[in-house]
Amino acid sequence: MVLRCWVVIWLMFCAVRSFVSTNAAAKCALPVIYMYSTRHFLCELRQLSSANRTAFSRQVSTMSAEGGGAEAKLAAIPDVEIDPDGKFKYILIRCHGPGDVSKDIVRGFAWAEFHADIYDRVAPGIEALGFDCECIGGGRIQHSRSQRNILVYGYSMGFGQADHSITVEKLKKKFPDYSSITFNNEGY
On the 0-12 / 13-18 / 19+ scale of CB atoms within 10 A, 93 is buried
- CATH number of the domain encompassing residue 131: 3.50.20.20
Confidence band for 5, pLDDT divided at 50, 70 and 90: low
Domain contains 62: no
Domain contains 5: no
Number of domains comprising the chain: 1
Confidence band for 27, pLDDT divided at 50, 70 and 90: very low
Domain contains 18: no
Active site (catalytic) residues: 115
Which domain range does residue 188 map to?
Answer: 78-188
Task: List pLDDT tens digits, range 72-82.
Answer: 889 899 999 99
Amino acid at the residue 117? D
Domain contains 124: yes
Domain contains 15: no
Confidence band for 10, pLDDT divided at 50, 70 and 90: low
Domain contains 27: no
Residue 37 pLDDT greater than 70, yes or no: no
Residue with more model confidence, 44 or 131: 131
Domain contains 56: no
Annotated binding site for substrate: 89
Domain contains 129: yes
